[in-house]
Chains A and B, each alone.
Chain A
């Protein structure tokens, strides 16, 4: 019953969002302003319809309504309540509903912050957003309906949520990521509205920037949580696999960063208007393509839940409608955009241009690598290949160096042209002294060096000098310093976050230690500066799984810690899962995975040391914090 109500509510949302989507067209034909006025209230109505539809699905999960195919496939009576909730978005159908709900939230918050603005423009933007909502609801209802019944034969027990997904990080990973993905629809809608109403100016750029910043921030958090989850849950200590689905989130992230930087230039100098608009379209295209890659199952990937080509075709239709449609509007309208002023080679404008160029070319190259196996298969008649991590590693390094370099000096380039170059010398001195200090520290702690780590430290120091030390140096008084730090809080934290990210990635890639060993009870193994000792193993039964739990002692100098590495067998699916033991410290993580039982009290283990790995996620949090602060500042200012 509840599920039917949810189904009906979703159909209602489909109809109303369709109406909102085409109401500006009705206004154009009838000249009746009524069609503008209703878009706001109806948009809120769509939000509530989708919300209650989503709640009814959650309700079905909490009450183990296995007559719903989706619930039966992804839940189980043994599942703890908390994970029943998370199971709502544990697979394709429910996560799609979540996607739609996120988009409705974005549309409504856009409405909230712009309710007093120009009626026509807001209505146009909402119309575009509601067309997107409508398309995704249609996709859900026609190809992947979570409210589909399994009648008359209804299972008494569900087949359970994948054990890998029974985890805290997984509960928050999809909502964050989807907020990021769907948020990119707002800048897209604003671009289309601006193209149609032909007012692309600095006010438009300022109004668009917070939305691109917010979605970028949520993407950052979503990707970081996903990486953290993979790190501790998959049991292999990897934090990034260059898996197609990871790339599908990484590409829109890169483009969204390029977008909000380009919008700064459009706002301050009236330049790069066409480019900014193109980026909003590109970012939204990457967002839909991301959904397509995750959901259609065209690529070999551990993340692919669905293997149904019909869905792929549907998403391709949606993709072509929005992206080809917007490109047609763009090509008809863009050449009429006025405004051009000049700048010299060493100027902030040109710095932003290089930043955008690097980010977008990198994004396109990553996309190319991700799609290359498909292209290859099409050309060579079914011959299958895969593009491995080395491709991406070769690719990303030069771009990371270029972007880090720009980040260090970007703040000191002048608009139009740069008159003074003394900053270069100061940044060089500052970063070099910091570099020596950190190298000394790293050498004392780890007792070794590698080219990769030196490079990462150099990039770190360069960014930190440009975005922090030089700022402090330039503010002569303490009061002044506080004002500078506060005013530039967003910028400083985001760029420092980038620095930490670069350092973490560089160190963990070059300094990690790992060894697969066979240990009998009581036996120890020395790796790096610690000794891992296998203390014993226990077997017991938990709520919904059996477990072999190994006690491992990690001894470093005089500090001793005991951790537990587990192997679980889930009752409902008989699936085995490794639960790694991790001892995190500020500088490095100690990571133990339990392998196979090789004989009497003898097991295999994988021992790892992961230096600076936490700094990657810490950096990501700083970046997200920066984007949030910045967007709130702009929203506040434009609201006053």
Chain B
């Protein structure tokens, strides 16, 4: 094989190999990290297996935040003005978490239909509504 063709072969091969590895990683990565978003009323309809990680979002219901004394456990309800969903969380809440404000949570549904959140997403400012929540709320109104 002449040197130029040989060189082209190397180049094409490495591009092919690099792309193949990347595609493989992309698929593996996506399967690990895609989280579907649900509103409280969608959760009731969708049969979600216990233990699947999902995101839910809605408005924190007024007067629903309940804290255990001397522990970081707390529970509250979120709503899309149609259905409510009970959330359990253990940890410190972000600054912008408050009643009647939008919130997005990451976690799993347990067998009792309670959403166990392991991450409460911090929002940018007090007027900011996560687009998913804004969209859901707009549809319901």
Contact = CB atoms under 8 A, between A and B. Distances in A.
- Report if A and B associate in a common complex: yes
Interface of A: 162, 164, 234-236, 297, 300, 302-304, 307, 340, 342-345, 350, 353-354, 357-358, 361-362, 364-365, 368-369, 372, 383-395, 398, 516, 518, 567, 573-578, 593, 595-596, 598-599, 602, 604-606
Interface string B106-141: 000000000000000011111000111001000000
B32 A394 contact: yes
A398 B25 contact: yes
A92 B22 CA distance: 35
A602 B37 CA distance: 36
A236 B25 CA distance: 29
B18 A357 contact: yes
B11 interface: yes
Nearest to B127: A573
B92 A596 contact: yes
A604 B91 CA distance: 9
B34 A302 contact: no
Contact of B32 (A350, A362, A390, A516): A390
A394 B131 contact: no
A577 B95 CA distance: 6
Interface in B17-33: 18-19, 21-22, 25-26, 28-30, 32-33
Interface in B59-112: 67, 69-72, 90-93, 95-96
B55 to A, nearest CB: 6
Given A395-B25, A395-B26, A385 B37 contact: yes
Given A300-B131, A384-B132, A573-B126, A395 B29 contact: yes
A368 B34 contact: no
A234 B34 contact: no
Given A387-B34, A516-B91, A598-B69, A575 B125 contact: yes
A393 B35 CA distance: 16
B92 A593 contact: yes
A266 B126 CA distance: 52
A162 B125 contact: yes
B29 A394 contact: yes
Given A345-B10, A391-B32, A573-B126, 6 more contacts: A369-B29, A385-B36, A392-B29, A516-B91, A596-B92, A599-B70
Contact of A574 (B11, B93, B126): B126
Nearest to A594: B92
Contacts of A357: 14-15, 18
A595 B36 contact: no
Scoring A162, A342, A386 by chain B CB atoms within 10 A of each residue's CB, the highest score goes to: A386
Contacts of B124: 162, 164, 302-304
B122 A302 contact: yes
B52 interface: no
A365 B22 contact: yes
B72 A384 contact: no
B25 A390 contact: no
B70 A602 contact: yes
B122 A361 contact: no
Scoring A357, A369, A393, A567 by chain B CB atoms within 10 A of each residue's CB, the highest score goes to: A357
24 contacts: A236-B122, A304-B124, A307-B131, A344-B7, A358-B18, A365-B26, A369-B30, A383-B36, A383-B37, A384-B135, A387-B33, A388-B35, A390-B29, A391-B30, A393-B29, A394-B32, A395-B22, A398-B21, A516-B91, A575-B95, A575-B125, A577-B95, A596-B93, A602-B70
A344 B125 CA distance: 57
A235 B95 contact: yes
Contacts of A236: 122
A374 B58 CA distance: 21
A173 to B, nearest CB: 16
Contacts of B25: 365, 394-395, 398
Nearest to B95: A576
Contact of B7 (A342, A575, A593): A342
B3 A302 contact: no
Contact of A518 (B19, B30, B37, B71): B71
Contacts of A164: 124-125
A234 B33 CA distance: 24
Nearest to A602: B70
A632 to B, nearest CB: 33
Nearest to A303: B124
Contacts of A307: 131
Contacts of A354: 14
